Amino acid sequence: MSLKVKWALGTALGALLIFALLTFVLFQSFTSDLLKREQSSVNRSLVSVEKRLASSDSKLTNKHVQQLIRASDGLADRTEKSNTTEGVINGLSVSDLSITVYDPSGQQIFTTAGSNKSRTFQKTSKKTVSLVKTNSRKSIVGRIPVYQNKTNKLTGYIQVTSSLRGYYQVADRLLMISMLVLVLVVIASGLLGYVLSYFLLRPIDEIHDTVSRIRDDPTDNHRVPKMHRNDELSDLGNMFNEMLDRMQRYIEQQSQFVEDVSHELRTPVAIIQGHMEMLNRWGKDDPKILSESLDASLKETKRMQDLVQEMLDLSRAEQVEINFRDEKTDVGEVVHQVYNNFKMIHPDFVFTIDDDLKEPTIAKIYRDHLEQILIILCDNAVKYSTTRKEIHLSLSRTLNNVEIGVQDFGEGISQDNMDKVFNRFYRVDKARSRKKGGNGLGLSIAKRLIEGYHGDIALESSAGYGSLFKVTLPVIKEDVQSLDD
């Protein structure tokens, strides 16, 4: 069963229950009120007729009773609609009420009802008004004994019966209208539910459509169409699109990576193979060729080893966020250590450091990773320096970040290449960089690491004048003490 039909049925059922309950409560309270009015009408009639008949001095006969009742009618015209008489007249005029008078022995003397309508006689010692049920229909029967005012002698009984015709008319009509409205409400709410769900759930259809197309072909560029609404489903559609983009980018990156790696490995493997073949053919006995070829092959295997290590570093750099979440490092200390090491390894270079940090500054980064980033940047600065062999390091801090600068005055990077140098295996001059031992992975490793720690790396450069790499890392506002803990 589709979600739309379920929704429609759910709303219809909900409306049915609520409306049925409401109607039941209203119906009950309305009809019980009507019944009370009928009861008090019977009561008033009883009292009124009893007063009339009790005033009579003689024995009650049909003629006598008729006179007295008519006098009662007349009285209602003359006196200012006294409450007691009004009940009799009203009751008789709508012929809901019938009055029957019996003599003390239970013989019927007088009745306003047809013979079939009058109720069976019952003796009573006091006034009673009760609800009686016959053939699934209710009626109200009131009984009262009549005592002569003067002698206080029992002269008969009065019985007033209300057939509740008006009450049943109103109740039946009410029931019919309620049923009709109930059916209409159920149909309308079901339809409304269906139409609403059709519009509200349309994005799900579109997501469903996109999912099935992507399932058939993961490289399909189909996306969930833009929804002009602002709710959870449109968020879901957008998130789903983003997820698809990311997934496809990931697939592309993976295949690109495999392609790049095999491409990178092809050259050293070809070089080693060339040397081996040469040795195999005629180099075995020539010590000069032998030593040259072995040297070259060893250089290439070293290069492959570095490449494999760098690829491993790159892949690990993707997971720093998960594996090194709580690491802390004193940035100044690491920068100074790298600065001292480089000064020692490259005595032909002039290294300077401009440290603006007044106090120990702790960044949320694993120590070895910060060191690795600095080594990559300083290595590059050394590698791509030309005549001016100067490298300038700087350390400064803003409210939330610490900024490390690595500046050289070498060949620089042109505007076109500035974004690309952070890509994997990208080298501005492939042959030259290869000669210097570069695989084009250093900057991409550095960038991944920095971004993994929610930092940023920026590059300012001008071809021929040098480059400045600026690393920004978020700092923790804690004292050094926490480092030792």
Give least dist CB 308 to ligand ADP, A: 14
Q: Which positions from 449 to 478 touch ligand ADP by CB under 6 A, shown as an x/- string?
A: ------------------x-----------
Give least dist CB 399 to ligand ADP, A: 29
Asked if 447 is part of the footprint of ligand ADP (rule: CB under 6 A), the reply reads no
Q: Which is nearer to ligand ADP, 286 or 354 (CB)?
A: 354
**Cα–Cα dist 385/142, whole Å:** 120
From candidates 98, 139, 161, 439, binder to ligand ADP by CB under 6 A: 439
Q: Are strands 390-397 and 350-355 parallel, antiparallel or unpaired?
A: parallel
Give least dist CB 405 to ligand ADP, A: 12
C-alpha torsion angle, residues 302, 306, 311, 312 (rounded to 10): 100
From candidates 91, 193, 442, 455, binder to ligand ADP by CB under 6 A: 442
Give least dist CB 321 to ligand ADP, A: 21
Q: Which is nearer to ligand ADP, 86 or 460 (CB)?
A: 460
**Long-range contacts formed by 5-11: CB under 8 A, 24+ apart:** 5/194, 7/193, 7/194, 7/196, 7/197, 7/201, 8/190, 8/191, 8/193, 8/194, 8/197, 9/190, 9/193, 10/193, 11/189, 11/190, 11/192, 11/193
Residue with tokens 């006179």: 67
Give 474's strand partners: 401
Asked if 268 is part of the footprint of ligand ADP (rule: CB under 6 A), the reply reads no
Closest CA to 75 of 61, 86, 60, 63: 86
Give least dist CB 352 to ligand ADP, A: 16
**Cα–Cα dist 389/346, whole Å:** 10
Name residues contacting ligand ADP, limited to 318-377 (CB under 6 A): 376
Asked if 411 is part of the footprint of ligand ADP (rule: CB under 6 A), the reply reads yes
Asked if 381 is part of the footprint of ligand ADP (rule: CB under 6 A), the reply reads yes
**Other CB atoms within 10 A of residue 324 CB:** 18
From candidates 384, 450, 452, 471, binder to ligand ADP by CB under 6 A: 384
Q: Near ligand ADP by CB under 6 A, which window of 71-79, 296-304, 327-335, 409-417?
A: 409-417
Q: Near ligand ADP by CB under 6 A, which window of 261-269, 325-333, 335-343, 437-445?
A: 437-445
**Beta carbons of 450 and 471 less than 8 angstroms apart:** yes
Q: Which is nearer to ligand ADP, 87 or 412 (CB)?
A: 412
Residue with tokens 């579109």: 206
Helix, coil or strand: residue 102 = strand
Tokens linked to 162: 């209300």
**Cα–Cα dist 161/236, whole Å:** 71
From candidates 60, 65, 76, 428, binder to ligand ADP by CB under 6 A: 428
Q: Which is nearer to ligand ADP, 203 or 440 (CB)?
A: 440
Give least dist CB 408 to ligand ADP, A: 5
Give least dist CB 287 to ligand ADP, A: 34
Q: Which is nearer to ligand ADP, 210 or 433 (CB)?
A: 433
Tokens linked to 293: 């070829």
- Give the total of residues touching ligand ADP (CB under 6 A): 22
DSSP string, 317-332: HTTHHHHTTT--EEHH
Helix, coil or strand: residue 341 = helix
Helix, coil or strand: residue 198 = helix
**Beta carbons of 67 and 124 less than 8 angstroms apart:** no
Asked if 47 is part of the footprint of ligand ADP (rule: CB under 6 A), the reply reads no
Asked if 441 is part of the footprint of ligand ADP (rule: CB under 6 A), the reply reads yes
Summary count for the chain: helices (H), strands (E):
13, 12
Asked if 403 is part of the footprint of ligand ADP (rule: CB under 6 A), the reply reads no
Give least dist CB 361 to ligand ADP, A: 25
Give least dist CB 483 to ligand ADP, A: 30
Asked if 438 is part of the footprint of ligand ADP (rule: CB under 6 A), the reply reads yes
Q: Which is nearer to ligand ADP, 442 or 452 (CB)?
A: 442
Binding residues vs ligand ADP (CB under 6 A): 376, 380-381, 384, 408, 410-413, 421, 426-428, 433, 438-444, 467
